[in-house]
Chain A
Amino acid sequence: MKRFLETGNFAITEGAILAGCRFFCGYPITPATELAEAMSLRLPQVDGVYLQAEDECGAMHLCIGAALGGMKAMTATSGPGYILYGDPFGWALGCEMPVVVLNSGRVGPVSGITGAPGQGEFYLTRYPTQGGNFEAVTLAPNSAQEAMAMVVEAFYLSERLRMPITVLADQLITDGFEDISVPENEAEMAEMGFKVWPRKHCLGPDFYPFTDELDIPPVQMGTDAGGLCSDWTPTVEGYDIEEVEAHHKHAWRLIYKVRNNLHLFEHLHEKKHLDDDPDLVVVSFGTPSRVVNTAVDKARAKGLKVGALRLKGLWPFPDHLFSRPTRYLSVELNWDGELVREIQRAAPKDSQVHFLGSCGDLPTIPDLLETFEKTVKDQPLERKGWVLEAW
């Protein structure tokens, strides 16, 4: 095990290499640029290719092209680039091509603020492209070390589910310096829970089998298996077809290969002080969860019965974690309230669901403590943005 004081971008690069990534194509954008830089330094040392594309749309297309040729590929960006991934993301979903996408969230909308963290893409990672008829998978680390682990996990899941997967980090995670341990061999990887799934290739004749099964290798070009893949609705052999029944089968697979394999995501959460049915469950993901965890400890010390639930997997949304009717408070790095809507949907009807937003800055512990106390005592939250009333 090697230890470093390094950035999340460094950790993610090392994680990707451990997972077998040998192709990275990106486009410079703050705060993901240092990840591209780290890849440009490291990949050639391990027989990997780093390329810089003409734009983000091109970058992810080069990645799916490399994946189509059998390589494990990754790209990284921030919100304004992630939106340009819409086209290749859809292609990768439809053609079931494994690829890993890192989104380091900054402040939006549009170009917003480059050097500050934001969480405005919670729903965008669920719907990263048009057309519907698919499930998405999104992982959300809250530290550099965990970002490394989650990139390894994203590669693992993308191979088994044969689909593009988003790791949704934020500016503090990718830019921040932390103590990072990098495993040096397979035993150390196993010790850290890192799993690697090798790339295999589908030899046909069915390239899009009508099944929700895992572990079907993706289509690959250059094997002369007669592999076909396209952006059109495919037949099982990969021919394009304008037929509702074929579409039904394809959409069914894209949806249920995820929905019917939820065991892959069950471990993707962290609970704190939730064993005694607390009066308030504070829900968060990414960097804000670190402040929330501290605040919840302090609240307990003050006698408030408050617990914290951190989501490490955002999509598919873990509805089962919200089965108990209680008070929920969603702490997010946006002012519009995104995660809170999903909690409202998942929680029992007799629950209370509250929202505490901020953006660019993390919430402070005094702010959190005050909100916890008022929420638990059913007192009104006075500050604008504290309660999402009209929806």
Chain B
Amino acid sequence: MEYASSKLIDSYLRSRKIPSTACSGCGLGINHKIVVQAIAELGLERGDVIWGTGIGCAGRQTFGTWKGDGFAGTHGRVYAIARGLRVALPPEKKIILTVGDGDAFGIGLLHLIHCARSNAAMTVIVNDNLGYQSTGGQFGFTTPQGVKTDSSPYGMFEHNLMSEGMDVMHILKGAGATFLARHVAMDGPRAVESVKAAIQNPGFSLVHMPYPCPTNFGSRHLGSRNQVNIYRWIQEHAAPLGQEKEDTYWATGVWHDSRGSRPEFSAHVWATVDKIKRTGAI
């Protein structure tokens, strides 16, 4: 039997790494497929994309899966590496980073903000499993308040980037990101469309994609590793932007789209270097 995804895998991914070693029922593969589907629908080839990854479930499981060139950074640093790489790469090469919530919104937030600030062309896919799951399941900075994890046995009570009306998207928008979207793993074609727009942005894009972790998050907070429970729980707490309910954690859809509104980082740097060389001034 040929699966619909087989063709995608043959074209873009390495059989050595797919299927990944993710836990049974993990939602990361869905997010991964959404990204590869978007690449395919844009007609990009393996040489058009350089794939970077961070640390944790999302980074480790996606590293080395892309048939073309790939690199991984230490925890939270892949954004800064990618920003340096951006300067060295031709503008038509796409940088796609698949990272986790701890990597992007915890340890790497400063570097991430400076990528947004400088509008460096890259697409950051934040695969959010609601905490640090590869270390056993500690809360992160987008873990909903009240949730029980291994390091919040009484319920997560800290103020974080998604509590009390805050949203990490506001921070990234304020920092200068030119494309922002959020989709949960179950959003399917809507998510693919957003990722396509993100990749097409000649600037900094981020797509926040919460996904189900049955093994650590589900078992601790929902009391069961039954995959259906965590998939349903995430679906129940997600709603399209403008249709949020009281218990909505994740407002989904395109949060911000100002593609082309200001120069891209490396293009701006090289144009300025060229002008200084010719005229001695900016």
Contact = CB atoms under 8 A, between A and B. Distances in A.
B74 A49 contact: no
B89 A53 contact: no
Interface string A37-68: 00000011111110101110110011111111
B188 interface: no
B231 interface: no
B69 A221 contact: yes
A221 B50 contact: yes
Given A51-B269, A58-B111, A65-B82, A224 B46 contact: yes
Nearest to A232: B72
B228 interface: no
A23 B83 CA distance: 12
Contacts of A48: 273
A203 to B, nearest CB: 11
B87 interface: yes
Counting chain B CB atoms within 10 Å of each CB, which of A45, A64, A69, A90 scores highest? A69
Given A58-B110, A230-B64, A45 B276 contact: yes
Contacts of A225: 69
Contacts of B53: 230
Contact of B84 (A47, A63, A232): A63
B71 A221 contact: yes
Interface residues of A, number: 49
Nearest to B70: A228
Contacts of A231: 55, 72-74
A123 interface: no
Nearest to B273: A44
A144 interface: no
B77 A91 contact: yes
Contacts of B84: 23, 25, 61-69, 73
Contacts of B110: 54-55, 58
A62 B83 contact: yes
Given A224-B69, A225-B69, A88 B77 contact: yes
B67 interface: yes
Nearest to A94: B74
A66 B82 CA distance: 8
Given A65-B81, A68-B81, A230-B71, A23 B16 contact: no
B69 A45 contact: no
A90 B75 CA distance: 12
Interface in B83-118: 83-90, 93, 110-111, 113-114
B48 to A, nearest CB: 9
Contact of B88 (A44, A47, A68): A68
Contact of A68 (B47, B71, B93, B111): B71
A51 B69 contact: no
A87 B77 CA distance: 9
Given A23-B84, A222-B89, A61 B72 contact: no
B61 to A, nearest CB: 10
A212 interface: no
A219 B50 CA distance: 13
B111 A54 contact: yes
A170 B274 CA distance: 34
6 contacts: A23-B84, A53-B114, A54-B113, A69-B86, A90-B74, A91-B77
Given A44-B273, A226-B69, A230-B63, 18 more contacts: A23-B87, A23-B88, A44-B277, A46-B277, A51-B269, A54-B114, A58-B80, A61-B77, A61-B111, A64-B81, A70-B88, A222-B93, A223-B69, A224-B46, A228-B63, A238-B64, A239-B64, A240-B64
